[in-house]
Amino acid sequence: MSIFEKPIEWDEQLLQRYDLAGPRYTSYPTAPQFSESFSQSALFRAIVRSNLAHRPLSLYFHIPFCESLCYYCGCNKIVTNNKGRALPYVQRMIQELSLYADMFEPNKEVQQLHWGGGTPTFISDEEMSLLMNASRRLFKFADDKSGEFSIEIHPGKVSINTMGHLRQLGFNRVSMGVQDFDAQVQKAVNRYNTYAQVAELVTSLRNQQYQSISMDLIYGLPLQSQQSLHETLQQVIDLGPDRLSLFNYAHMPHLFKSQRLIRAEDLPSPPEKLAMLHFAIETLQNAGYIYIGMDHFAKPDDDLVIAQQQGKLQRNFQGYSTHGNCDLLALGVSSISMIDNVYVQNAKDLNSYQQKMDMGLLPITKGFTLNQEDLLRRFVINRLICYCELSFHEIARAFDIDPQQHFRHELMQLQPLVEDGLIYIDNGGIKVLNKGRLLIRRVCMVFDEYLQKAANKVQPIRYSRII
């Protein structure tokens, strides 16, 4: 039995001791390292290397519009009821995609597609068709069986007919933000979707032959309790989604204005949050879900579990993902692409994004080119965060270094975790033990060069806590 199939080993004292603030490692280096001095010529060279390697693509479209404000949300969003704002934005995303299509080799295959937001279903069925048809015209898509084409939805704001339309357009996966079914919690965060609505939607999605249904939940929300979370979990388990994400609500009102609408006194205490997490992981594992890592759970036959077993799992800006061989091309405001050894981020402000597009320019405002040391450390962090182990032999073969010598200072920093039974280190490599799985971010932080340098700054970067 692999470590991912075993019940989580819980040591509250150690969790509290190591519960620091740190990155989620959806990329390495992380976004705060991206620079405005980035040269777009580095991106063009990365695309050339991607073409020479014949790597397939993962496309991401960021659609930022929402009809209502969810108070907990930290995403880049625009809250509006003006549907007329959608079409000009969709047209500019198509224009952006067209600019990139001229740079990539004609037969480069799109194996993954994801529409995120915001609320992508804010746009009309006609606008969805416009964007999807343009994507298929400009790029070659994998077939329905091998490709993963997903969309995020608000289950309280989408119609069954729209989901049928999306299926006809080629979408075969759905990620829905349930968060919590408790009425008091929903009112406290201004996010509403009843169990009946979600149950009806799930039945329809299965009838429409969607291949995968994923649900997002959040623990640590205002007025949430272990009892209310228990009831939500039981309802979700009854619905049987293929995947589940259980996110920690990080209350950071200094960064996200919408969170100022949440009363701090309504939030569960740190010990209550820890108890919720313990209960939720135990409940989901007992229900047959595999704990992939960090926030993610999946049924044993899900592609995420299979990718982890086959060594094809990766960590990207959407969390854990299959198709680790793809380059990521991201379109729209604030989106981040990851191509070869380059990250590029689009303008975060809608007006800036649209102005650049109107000038016929790529809307990039920041970027980062990874050097050999960055690539090495990204490899190490990805291996640890996806598989909870690291082979020194694999590193030596891939990067032509002596890993024990190269990382001698990092291995010394890990000794307290070894002594506390969280990890095991020998000449073969590093293994995260069951007791240490919840602290995987803490292990990865040791290999983060930029985090060590940032700790010495007058104003260090602020991250959410690990647990």
| Both tokens assigned to 293 | 């890592």
189, with CB counted inside 10 A (0-12, 13-18, 19+), is buried
Q: Go through 408-422 and write b for each residue having 16 or more CB atoms within 10 A of its CB, e for each that does not.
A: eebbeebeebeebeb
**Among candidate residues 386, 423, 378, 380, the one with its CA nearest the CA of residue 404:** 380
The predicted model scores a pTM of 0.94
Task: Identify the architecture of domain 1-26+371-467 in CATH.
Answer: Orthogonal Bundle (1.10)
Residue spans of alpha helices (H) in 388-422: 392-399, 403-406, 408-413, 415-419
379 close to 403: Cβ distance less than 8 angstroms? no
* pLDDT of res. 332: 98
451 close to 7: Cβ distance less than 8 angstroms? no
For the chain, give every domain's residue range.
1-26+371-467, 30-331
* pLDDT of res. 403: 97
Superfamily of domain 30-331: tm_1862 like domain (3.80.30.20)
Beta strands 109-117; 140-141: pairing state: parallel
* pLDDT of res. 5: 87
| Both tokens assigned to 454 | 């940032």
Beta strands 336-339; 342-346: pairing state: antiparallel
* pLDDT of res. 19: 81
Task: Give ∠ CA 152-129-347 in degrees, rounded to 5.
Answer: 60
Task: Give ∠ CA 37-42-47 in degrees, rounded to 5.
Answer: 145
| Both tokens assigned to 372 | 């050999």
State which H helix or E strand residue 60 sits in. Answer: strand 57-63
* pLDDT of res. 196: 96
Which residues neighbour 166 within 8 Å (Cβ) at sequence distance 6 or greater? 128, 151
Give bridge partners of residue 431 from the DSSP assignment: 389, 424
* pLDDT of res. 424: 96
Report the SS3 class of residue 360: coil
| Both tokens assigned to 326 | 């793809």
pLDDT average per 10 residues of sequence, the chain (467 residues): 87 86 88 93 97 96 96 92 97 98 94 96 97 98 96 95 98 97 96 96 98 96 95 97 94 90 94 93 96 94 93 86 90 97 96 96 96 97 95 96 96 95 96 94 94 66 69
| Both tokens assigned to 196 | 């009946």
* pLDDT of res. 255: 84
